Amino acid sequence: MHTRRENFDAVVIGSAQAGDQLAVDFARAGLRTALVDSLGSAEPCVDSACAPSQSLIASANVAHMVRKAPDFGVRTGSVEVDFGKVQMRKQAVVDGLRSQAARAFTHTAGLTHLKGETRFEGPGELLVREDGDIVCALHAARIFINTGARPALPQLPGLDEVPYLTSGSAMELEELPDHLLVLGGSYLGVELGQMFRRFGSRVSVVERQVQLLPREDRDVAASIAEILRADGLEVFLETEAIGVTSDAAGGVRLKVRTASGEHVLVGSRLLVVAGREPNTDGLNLAAAGIAVDARGYISVNERLETSARGVYALGGVNGGPAFTHVAYDDLRIIRAAVLESSSSVTTGRVCPYTAFTDPQLGRIGVTEWEAREQGRTIRIAKLPMNRLTRAAQMNESRGLMKVVIDCDTDLIIGAAVLGVDSGEIMAMLQTAMMANMSYTALREGMCALPTLVGSRANPFVALDS
């Protein structure tokens, strides 16, 4: 059979948000561009990652707020969650975002959109297949890999035989689980666990490390655990899952090992959120000489170039921090290199993130633990949220602010803000870091009251008192 072969200036593999935009920008700049996307093999942000999860979390937080209404002196009736409507609302948000992206494609001349699985056949050569049939062969001077990552499954005896949920399928549930066992207590585990608890499920989080959020400082993670427990979640730390089976009633029995011996946790559904792995396996990267690291992520330099000339990798597939805004920043770097011949790099970029628990955890820069490991001389400015007037007014005084300061320069090198709207507070600290502003400038500057950042009890005042 004769295979259709087409030449392009640029081919983007993977239609996540960054990939879509990159393809549109190239085409608008006059490059003959193809965007190739597989059909639902992964979990792009719009379909089953941040867009749906943030929409669902917003509904869960409304349920929580309404339950707390009597604390504000507001009487409500009993709170019921209509999970079908919650899902419809989420879907409307996701569909809206998806149609925005589709509109951009339709109105972009010079952009070819192909559906199918992509595989390298050699340097600059790709083959696209749909249901095993070859759609076409592509040749491109430049290729951009944006295939993202997917949930990794732990080596857990019995997992193949039970109907488990992942972060993606959990977004599509039609019925609330009675009792959700969450395997993994990192960011997705705590966000989704709290969300299901607020919808009304019983939730048990199982984490093998000594703390939730193992990359965070011990005191911050302990504060998150306290918040989740106060919300009614069960949190099992230093608890390793060692096997899973179904029970006669259709539920799951999770066998765990703890310091006190082996136990069985019984729940109605199991959610596995135990890490991510890159979508690189089907790409046949070796045929084009594209190197991967030990975990299978594509190795890139600071300009996001792979080991193969003319091939770049952006977003979660290159093993950088797994956030949507990082994928967008990768897009900025690549766009600058290809369209503006400038040399933006990833080196030294400051990557903020927010865990969307309620209250949120806003994070930027190094943790206290990392700074000490690096042998830096530091000071810690720390303030419990219950010292902030605004937090009391908003009835959410849980959490803490913690800022890591380099003693040699007085610069802020990291911050963890666990508290109401703390993703926004962290952004202020990020701006100070980006501007190389000393902590004393922040301490002495005037902020509007009563805002969260404008509290007179700011962490830097506490530091020097």
Ligand X SMILES: Cc1cc2nc3c(=O)[nH]c(=O)nc-3n(C[C@H](O)[C@H](O)[C@H](O)COP(=O)(O)OP(=O)(O)OC[C@H]3O[C@@H](n4cnc5c(N)ncnc54)[C@H](O)[C@@H]3O)c2cc1C
Q: If binding is defined by CB under 6 A, does position 145 make contact with ligand X?
A: no
- Which of 184, 180, 183 is CA-nearest to residue 203? 180
Q: If binding is defined by CB under 6 A, does position 323 make contact with ligand X?
A: yes
Q: Which residue is nearest to ligand X (CB)?
A: 148
Q: If binding is defined by CB under 6 A, does position 349 make contact with ligand X?
A: no
CA 465/CA 462 separation, integer angstroms: 5
Shortest Å distance, C-beta 171 to ligand X: 7
Classify the phi-psi angles of 117: left when phi > 0, otherwise alpha if psi is within -120 to 50, otherwise beta: beta
> Residue 4 has what DSSP assignment?
P
CA 257/CA 240 separation, integer angstroms: 5
Q: If binding is defined by CB under 6 A, does position 49 make contact with ligand X?
A: yes
- Which of 10, 14, 13 is CA-nearest to residue 29? 10
For ligand X, which residue of 10, 11, 12, 16 counts as binding (CB under 6 A)? 16
Shortest Å distance, C-beta 116 to ligand X: 7
Q: If binding is defined by CB under 6 A, does position 297 make contact with ligand X?
A: no
Subset of 160-199 contacting ligand X (CB under 6 A)? 167, 188
Query: Bridge-partner residues for 10, per DSSP?
Result: 33, 142
For ligand X, which residue of 53, 55, 211, 360 counts as binding (CB under 6 A)? 53
Q: If binding is defined by CB under 6 A, does position 442 make contact with ligand X?
A: no
Q: If binding is defined by CB under 6 A, does position 312 make contact with ligand X?
A: no
CB nearer ligand X, residue 275 or residue 450: 275
For ligand X, which residue of 10, 11, 12, 18 counts as binding (CB under 6 A)? 18
Q: Is 133 exposed, middle or buried (0-12, 13-18, 19+ CB in 10 A)?
A: exposed
Subset of 197-226 contacting ligand X (CB under 6 A)? none
CB nearer ligand X, residue 228 or residue 388: 228
CA 361/CA 222 separation, integer angstroms: 12
Shortest Å distance, C-beta 14 to ligand X: 3
CB nearer ligand X, residue 43 or residue 368: 43
Phi, psi of 463 (to 5 degrees): -60, -40
Q: If binding is defined by CB under 6 A, does position 59 make contact with ligand X?
A: no
CA 414/CA 429 separation, integer angstroms: 9
CB nearer ligand X, residue 45 or residue 378: 45
Strands 125-130 and 117-122: antiparallel
Q: Is the dihedral of CA 439, 440, 445, 450 positive or negative?
A: positive
CB nearer ligand X, residue 146 or residue 397: 146
For ligand X, which residue of 33, 38, 204, 367 counts as binding (CB under 6 A)? 38
For ligand X, which residue of 21, 146, 211, 268 counts as binding (CB under 6 A)? 146
Are 381 and 460 in contact, with CB atoms under 8 Å apart? yes
Q: How far apart are the first and last CA of the chain?
A: 79
For ligand X, which residue of 6, 41, 61, 255 counts as binding (CB under 6 A)? 41
For ligand X, which residue of 22, 45, 162, 405 counts as binding (CB under 6 A)? 45
3-state secondary structure of 38: coil
Distance of CA 325 to the CA centre of its chain: 9
For ligand X, which residue of 8, 22, 24, 44 counts as binding (CB under 6 A)? 44
> Measured between alpha carbons, how far is residue 169 from residues 94, 174, 267 in Å?
15, 10, 17
Question: What are the residues binding ligand X (CB under 6 A)?
Answer: 13-16, 18, 36-38, 41-45, 49-50, 53-54, 117-118, 146-149, 167, 188, 279, 282-283, 315-317, 322-325, 327, 356
